[in-house]
Chain A
Amino acid sequence: MLSRDQVLRIARLARIEVADSEAAALERELNGILDLIGRMSAVDTQGVEPMSHPEDAAQRLREDRVSVEDQREAFQAAAPQVEDGLYLVPKVIE
C-alpha cells in the first residue's frame, strides 16, 4: 500500500503537481492499480530471461551520417518560447 506521502513523492518524481483536493482519490486509484499488479509477485520466474522485444531483435545500427536536413525553424515554430534559435526556460542557475 502506498501512503499519501509516497503518492506525493511519485508525483514529484513524475513532475506532476497534485492539488490537495486530488490527493485522496489519487491515493485510492494508484493503490487499486498496484493491487492488480501485485498478482504477479507470486509467480516463480527464476531463470526466465526478461523479454523486451517480441522478436528479441537487437537494435539495428546505421552508418553515422547526416540523413535529415536541418528543420530547426519548422520545429521551433511550435515551441512555447524561443529566441535566436534557442529554447527559453525559466532561469536555472542564480
Chain B
Amino acid sequence: MHRASLRELHRELAAKRISAVELARTFLARVERFQPRLNAFITIDAEATLAQARAADERIAHGDARPLTGIPVAHKDLFCAKGWRTTCGSKMLANWIAPYDSHVVERFAAEGAVLLGKTNMDEFAMGSSNETSHFGPVRNPWNVDTVPGGSSGGSASAIAARLAPAATGTDTGGSIRQPASFTGTCGLRPTYGRVSRYGMVAFASSLDQGGPLAKSAEDLAILLDAMAGFDPRDSTCMDRPKADYAGALAGGVKGLTIGLPREYFTKDLAEDVAAPILAAIEALKRLGAKTVEVSLPNQHLCVPVYYVIAPAEASSNLARYDGVRYGHRAAEYADLNDMYSKTRAQGFGAEVKRRIMIGTYVLSHGYYDAYYLQAQRIRRLIARDFTEAFAKCDLIAGPAAPSVAYALGAKKDDPVQMYLDDLYTIPINLAGLPGMSIPCGFGAGGLPVGLQIVGNYWDEARMLAAAHAYQQATDWHTLVPPGFD
C-alpha cells in the first residue's frame, strides 16, 4: 500500500476496499518504525491524524470521495495547522501551537486529506542540508550517513522512504527541488504567486513559494490541483485561472523544444551527475522533444544576488521574533533591549543569525544602494535572460544540484560552499519561474540524481506533462531505497 500512487489509493478508498483509518495506520506505523533512523518528522499526533481519517471515511461513506479524500499528507513544519505545533525547525517556535490554518492546509482539509504529521526542515527554511534544524538533522534513506538536502529535507526523506504518499514543501532558493534531487523523489516549485503564502512562516517573501513533493509527476499534478488557486489573504497571490494539472498530464513532450543552458553544463557539474542528466535529455528526445542550446549570461551572478535579497527579506521578516507576542523569551534580562537580544541569541541557530546579520547590513544606511538595489537590478537582468531563453524553447532542462547527496557534516562549517551549491535552483526563484526535479538515475555512491525541468511563467501543466511522459518510459521514480521497501 505504501508504494501505491495517489490514483491507486483513491481507487481503493472510493471502492471501500481500504478505509482512510487503515491507510493512516499503515503510514503512521511506518513513520514510527523509521523515525529513529531518518528523523524526517518533528511532530506526530496519531490521535489527531486518526480523527481526520475517521472524518474522511464518513465522507467516503456518503459517496463524496474527492481525489485526495482519505489520503495522508505530511506538511513541512512551516505550514500553520490549527492545533498543531508549528516549529519552523527552530527553538524560537519549539512550543508554538498554530491558532489557524494556512491556506495550503485549509485546501487539503477541504479535499478531505488527512494530516499525517509535520516534517523536519532547516531552521526557518535556511539551509541546503537539513542540518540547521533545532530538532536534529534528517537522514537520506538512500544512505543514512548522507544529507537529504534542504530545506524541505524531512518531506523529501519521508517520500523517498515511503513514509507518506504525499508531502508539502517550500522553495525559496531550491528547497523543494534540491532535496527531491538528493532523495530520488519528485518535487515542484510553482510560479511565484500560484500557491498562497498565507499561514506559511515567512523567510524571503519575494521568493518563497509552496509546492508538493511526491513519488511521481502524476501525483504532483493531483497535489498541485489542490494547492494552487487564488487567495486574497496573500497580497502577492495572483488572481488567474488554475490549469487542470492532472487532466493535462497526457500532453506529452512530442514537438516541444527543450532549452539546454550552456552555463549549466560546465565543470561545476560533477560528471557522475552530468551523465544521468544527459541520458534523461536523450530519453526526452526519443519521446519526441527537440533540444536547443540557450544562454543565461548572468548565471554566475545568481548566488551573490540571492544572498543579498533573501537575507535582506529574512532580516525584516524575522524581526517579529522578539519574545513579546509568541515564541521563545529569555528567562533573564536587564531591560527591553536586553530581552530582545538575549531572546534572539538563544532562539535562533547560527545560520539564521548569520543571515539576519547579512540582511541587516545590506539594508543599513549607506549600504542599501550598493547591495540591495544593485541586487534587485541584477535580478531583473537574470529574469530577462530567461525571457529571452523562453523565446527559443518551451521548457528548460538541466541539473537540480551540482552533486549527489554528501556526507552529514561535510559542508556544515562552510556556509559559502553550501550557498554555491544552489547555483542551478536559485535563478528560477529570482526570476519567479516554476521548476521541478524528477529522479533520472544514480551517481557516485549509488545516490540519486534529479533532472530539473523549468517552465515559463504559469506553465506548470506543460512541465508536468513532460515529466509524466518521461516517467511512463522510465522507472527511476518507482525505485525504493533498500531497507525501506
* B-contact bits for A1-34, CB 8 A (1 contact / 0 none): 0100001001111111111000000100110111
Within 8 A of B (CB), among A20-72: 26, 29-30, 32-41, 43, 45, 48-55, 57, 59-60, 62, 71
Tell me whether A45 and B374 are in contact in the complex, defined as CB-CB below 8 angstroms, given that A78-B96, A78-B99, A87-B325 are known contacts. yes
Chain A residues whose CB sits within 8 angstroms of the CB of B333 once the complex forms: 90
* A-contact bits for B188-220, CB 8 A (1 contact / 0 none): 000111000000000000100000000000000
Contacting pair B364 A33 (CB below 8 A): no
A20 to chain B, nearest CB (A): 13
Chain A residues whose CB sits within 8 angstroms of the CB of B415 once the complex forms: 29, 32-33
Contacting pair B374 A40 (CB below 8 A): yes
Contacting pair B432 A55 (CB below 8 A): yes
Chain B residues whose CB sits within 8 angstroms of the CB of A7 once the complex forms: 357
Chain A residues whose CB sits within 8 angstroms of the CB of B238 once the complex forms: 55, 57
A85 within 8 A of B: no
User: Whose C-beta in chain A lies nearest to the C-beta of B307?
Assistant: A37
Q: Which single member of A40, A75, A90 contacts B99 (CB below 8 Å)?
A: A75
Chain B residues whose CB sits within 8 angstroms of the CB of A40 once the complex forms: 301, 304-305, 308, 371, 374-375, 378
Contacting pair B99 A55 (CB below 8 A): no
Contacting pair B324 A43 (CB below 8 A): no
User: Whose C-beta in chain B lies nearest to the C-beta of A46?
Assistant: B377
User: Whose C-beta in chain B lies nearest to the C-beta of A2?
Assistant: B361
Tell me whether A13 and B364 are in contact in the complex, defined as CB-CB below 8 angstroms, given that A54-B192, A79-B324 are known contacts. yes
Contacting pair A54 B432 (CB below 8 A): yes
Chain A residues whose CB sits within 8 angstroms of the CB of B236 once the complex forms: 53, 57
Contacting pair A77 B360 (CB below 8 A): no
Contacting pair A55 B457 (CB below 8 A): yes
A66 to chain B, nearest CB (A): 14
Contacting pair A37 B371 (CB below 8 A): yes
How many interface contacts (CB-CB < 8 Å) are there between A and B?
171
Contacting pair B383 A13 (CB below 8 A): no
- Docked CA distance A90–B338 (Å): 10
Contacting pair A26 B354 (CB below 8 A): yes
Q: Which single member of B99, B335, B341, B419 contacts A36 (CB below 8 Å)?
A: B419
Tell me how many residues of B have a C-beta within 8 Å of chain A.
70
Contacting pair A52 B376 (CB below 8 A): yes
Contacting pair B336 A15 (CB below 8 A): no
User: Whose C-beta in chain B lies nearest to the C-beta of A92?
Assistant: B336
B484 within 8 A of A: no
- Docked CA distance A89–B338 (Å): 11
Tell me whether A50 and B376 are in contact in the complex, defined as CB-CB below 8 angstroms, given that A15-B341, A75-B99, A79-B326 are known contacts. yes
* B-contact bits for A70-94, CB 8 A (1 contact / 0 none): 0100111111110000010111100
Q: Which single member of B308, B353, B377, B416 contacts A49 (CB below 8 Å)?
A: B377
Chain B residues whose CB sits within 8 angstroms of the CB of A16 once the complex forms: 341, 344-345, 348, 353, 356-357
Chain B residues whose CB sits within 8 angstroms of the CB of A79 once the complex forms: 324-326
User: Whose C-beta in chain A lies nearest to the C-beta of B360?
Assistant: A14
Tell me whether A55 and B322 are in contact in the complex, defined as CB-CB below 8 angstroms, given that A39-B304, A40-B301 are known contacts. no
Chain B residues whose CB sits within 8 angstroms of the CB of A60 once the complex forms: 232, 235, 239
Contacting pair A48 B419 (CB below 8 A): no
User: Whose C-beta in chain A lies nearest to the C-beta of B374?
Assistant: A40
Contacting pair A14 B357 (CB below 8 A): yes
B481 within 8 A of A: no
Chain A residues whose CB sits within 8 angstroms of the CB of B376 once the complex forms: 50-52
Chain B residues whose CB sits within 8 angstroms of the CB of A78 once the complex forms: 96-97, 99, 325-327
User: Whose C-beta in chain B lies nearest to the C-beta of A81?
Assistant: B329
- Docked CA distance A49–B244 (Å): 35
Contacting pair B379 A51 (CB below 8 A): yes
Tell me whether A33 and B358 are in contact in the complex, defined as CB-CB below 8 angstroms, given that A40-B304, A87-B325 are known contacts. yes
B330 to chain A, nearest CB (A): 9
Contacting pair B375 A57 (CB below 8 A): no
Given contacts A17-B344, A26-B354, A54-B432, 16 further A-B contacts (CB under 8 A): A15-B341, A33-B416, A43-B301, A43-B374, A43-B378, A43-B381, A45-B381, A48-B378, A49-B377, A50-B380, A54-B191, A54-B192, A54-B193, A60-B232, A71-B100, A75-B326
What are 5 inter-chain pairs, A to B, with CB distance below 8 A? A36-B420, A48-B381, A54-B192, A87-B325, A92-B336
